[in-house]
Amino acid sequence: MAINAVASTHRFPIPRNPMLIRHPMGRSRLRPPGFDDLGLERALSDRLLPFLVAAMAFLAALAFGGFLAAAGLARHWQQGAEAAVTVQVPDPSAVAAGGGVAGTTRLGRVLALLRADPAVARAHALTAAELDALLRPWLGRDSGRLALPLPAVIAVSLARPTATLQRLGKSLREAAPGTLVESHGVWVRRLTVLAQSLQASAAIALLVVTAVAIAVVAVGTHAGLAASREAIEIVHVLGATDDYIAARFAARATRLAVLGGGAGALAALPVLLTLAGLAAPFGRLDTAAAGSGPAAGFPGTALPTLLWLALPLLPLGAAAIGYLTAQVTVRHWLRRLP
Amino acid sequence: MVRFEHVGLSYPAPGRRSAAAVLHDVSFRVPEGGFRWLLGTSGAGKTSLLRLMYLAIRPTEGRLSVLETDITSARRGMLANLRRRIGVVFQDFRLLPHLSAFDNVALPLRIAGRSEGQIRADVAEMLRWVGLAGKLESPPETLSGGEQQRVAIARAVITRPRLLLADEPTGNLDEAQAERLMRLLQELSRLGTTVVVATHNEALASRHGAPALRLEHGRLVP
Ligand SMILES: Nc1ncnc2c1ncn2[C@@H]1O[C@H](COP(=O)(O)OP(=O)(O)O)[C@@H](O)[C@H]1O
Ligand SMILES: [Mg+2]
């Protein structure tokens, strides 16, 4: 038997020359790639974890997209419509009663009053064509031929904010009874509050998604610890530090999380582009004609720059969550070993 | 090197109020380079005593010092360093089933951060010496009990430990292999490694004269 033949020579490899054989103590990290001493390829499966992280990344992308959209809408509404007021004059072509230039129509009287008021920057009575365009979505193409008694509509821009609105309304009603003054400011404030609530909801959704992602990685790591408990105990008794064991788990969890984060971000991209396309007309009411369909040109330009920056950050964020969660979970678990 | 002073050990017994005491008032010393048999019937506490020495558990009573370090008071972070200087042949081998024989033997060197070039040469030579040169790539499940035991022995001595502990290391070896292993252990001891070998095989111990620690029901008897 070979083993005995060697033994009979009394040549043991270990004590051969202890001084020469001593290993260099340098920290040369030359572990062969793929040396999976803890069996993590099976213990920390590449099925469930990346899939769950991908779902979280997908939701995070949508939530962040929603956050930016709500922020954009709030800004737009605040800037655009703060000082806008609509005045409706029923029965506009009837002769105005009371004082002033005799024979003036009710519309003429109201317009004159508005233009004389220092708080009013601009007052423009919508023409029949403009009114027609405004009403077409509700009344159809033939609104002009309908025998409806339409009020005249005056678009007013206030030079100063709406403190003067009540006084203005009162004097207009005296000149032409039945006149309505409607401030857009109220609606803008309501819409702004709505947009801010949407923004807060999106932020909360982001936080919840992050928390769930952390929980998912923690649960996955715990399952991996249980599955490789035997191997961990062996390397522990062979002198592996907590650093060593936690690093193995963290590397695996990071790789799986990056995979999931990347897949989730990629899956979210077409959804976000579609949503951005649908939302584009509302973001540019002042320039494009309302209702002209999705934004023209390269569809990517529809996504806010911040979103383009955030999407590549998703796999990075997932990596950070995977690394830190695995490190903390494993180190905590290892404290049960002496 | 190894010093037990009135060491007692109880394993926590879930569900029961009082823990089960396995070792009682154990005191002895093994000097640097000493060789000791650890004898006793099955269940006497040999494995538990070795587990204390390779720092898998801490004593519940008394003081224990291994490699000049007081284990009773040592910080947890220091123990990993100590463990790397202790070689263990486990009674049940404890090889990693998903690693080849080569990778199992290389494991302690990789944990210690040695260079791969050094590892390749040393591990191959060690496996050749235990008669497994043709089985470097074999996973443990394809090896016989004796072959697995020889892989476990190779893993225990590959780091040239200062303290070598073997738990029934000849249980699966034939006579010739067992004799050969005993000569290796005694040679290591002669060169300065402290060696403790647990066995219930009194005949083996009497053939290789060396001082013996005798355990009976968790107590050392003369
Ligand atoms: N992990 C453990 N938990 C509880 N009891 C244990 C454990 N390991 C061993 N024992 C008990 O300790 C006693 C001594 O066991 P052991 O040290 O394995 O003896 P030996 O190696 O001499 O056969 C036995 O009664 C055994 O049941
Ligand atoms: Mg035993």
Q: For B66, phi and psi rounded to 5 degrees?
A: -130, 135
Chain B residue numbers touching A238 (CB-CB < 8 A): 83-84, 107-108, 111, 155
The answer to whether residue A241 is domain-embedded is: yes
User: Do residues B185 and B191 touch, judged by C-beta distance below 8 A?
Assistant: no
Beta-bridge partner residues of B61: B8
**Percent of chain A predicted with pLDDT > 70:** 75
The answer on A237 and A208 residing in a single domain is: yes
B129–A15 CB contact, under 8 Å: no
pLDDT of residue A289: 33
End-to-end CA distance of chain B: 21
Determine, yes or no, domain membership for A84: no
Average pLDDT over chain A reads 79
In this structure, the residue with its CA closest to atom 16 of ligand 1 is: B45
CA distance linking residue B204 with residue B93, whole number of Å: 20
CB contact under 8 A, A338 and B116: no
Q: Within this chain, do residues A217 and A148 fall inside the same structural domain, yes or no?
A: no
Of A50, A321, A29, nearest in space to B111 by CA: A29
pLDDT of residue B16: 66
Residue A15 has pLDDT above 50, yes or no: no
DSSP B27: E
Mutate to test the interface with A, among B130, B137, B184, B186 (most CBs of A within 10 A): B184
Q: How high is the ipTM of this complex?
A: 0.94
**Chain B within 8 Å of A336 (Cβ-Cβ)?**
no
Residue B67: CB atoms within 10 A of its CB come to 19
Q: Are A200 and A328 members of one domain?
A: yes
Residues A215 and A284 in one domain: yes
Cα(B219) to ligand 2 centroid in Å equals 15
- The owner of tokens 């509509």 is A153
Residues A203, A55 share a domain: yes
How confident is the model over A180-199, as a mean pLDDT?
80
Q: Are residues A134 and A217 in the same domain?
A: no
The average pLDDT across A102-109 equals 84
pLDDT digits (tens, 9 = 90+) for A216-264: 999 999 999 999 999 999 999 999 999 999 999 999 999 999 999 999 9
Do A203 and A244 belong together in one domain? yes
User: How many residues are recorded in chain A?
Assistant: 338
Are B178 and B206 in contact by the 8 Å Cβ rule? The answer is no
Query: How many Å lie between the alpha carbon of A229 and the closest alpha carbon of chain B?
Result: 11
Helix axes A305-334, A48-81, angle to 10 degrees: 140
Calpha distance B207→B205 (Å, rounded): 5
Rounded mean pLDDT of B54-69?
95
The residue-averaged pLDDT of B144-171 equals 93
Decide which of A178, A210, A241 is a domain's last residue.
Answer: A178
Hunting for tokens 């100063």 — which residue is that?
A160
CB atoms within 10 A of CB A229: 13
Residues A78-99 pLDDT 10s? 665 656 788 888 888 888 776 6
The reply to whether A166 falls in a domain is yes
Under an 8 A CB cutoff, do A239 and B177 touch? Answer: no
What local confidence, expressed as pLDDT, does residue B31 receive? 95
Q: Which of A178, A211, A233 marks a domain boundary?
A: A178
pLDDT digits (tens, 9 = 90+) for A261-295: 999 999 999 999 888 877 776 654 333 333 333 33
Residue B104 phi, psi dihedral angles, 5° rounding: -65, -45
- Domain stop point among A135, A158, A178: A178
One domain, residues A70 and A97:
no
Does residue A259 sit in the same domain as residue A300?
A: yes
Residues A210 and A327 in one domain: yes
Predicted confidence at residue B108, as pLDDT, reads 96
Every domain of chain B and the residues it spans:
2-85+161-221
**Angle formed at CA A284 by CA A278 and CA A287, multiple of 5 degrees:** 135
Q: Is the pLDDT of residue B151 over 60?
A: yes
A6 touches chain B (CB under 8 A): yes
Helix, strand and coil percent figures for chain A, each rounded to 5? 65, 5, 30
Q: Alpha helix (H) ranges present in chain B?
A: 46-53, 76-83, 101-111, 116-129, 145-157, 175-190, 202-207
Distance CA(B213)–CA(B44), nearest Å, equals 12
* Interval B177-209: pLDDT, tens: 888 888 889 888 998 999 999 998 888 888 888
Q: How far is Cα of residue A115 from the mean position of the Cα atoms in its chain?
A: 44
pLDDT at A201: 93
Same domain for A232 and A305: yes
Residues 6+ apart with CB under 8 A from A300: A273, A308
A251 CA to centre of own chain: 29
Residue A272 lies in a domain: yes
State both tokens at B162.
């200062």
**SS3 (DSSP) at A295:** coil
**Number of domains, chain A:** 2
Cβ atoms within 10 Å, residue A252:
23
Among protein residues, the one whose CA lies closest to atom 11 of ligand 1: B22
Residue numbers of the domain that contains A141: 91-178
Q: Are residues A232 and A302 in the same domain?
A: yes
Q: Is the pLDDT assigned to residue A162 strictly greater than 50?
A: yes
Return the CATH superfamily for domain B2-85+161-221: P-loop containing nucleotide triphosphate hydrolases (3.40.50.300)
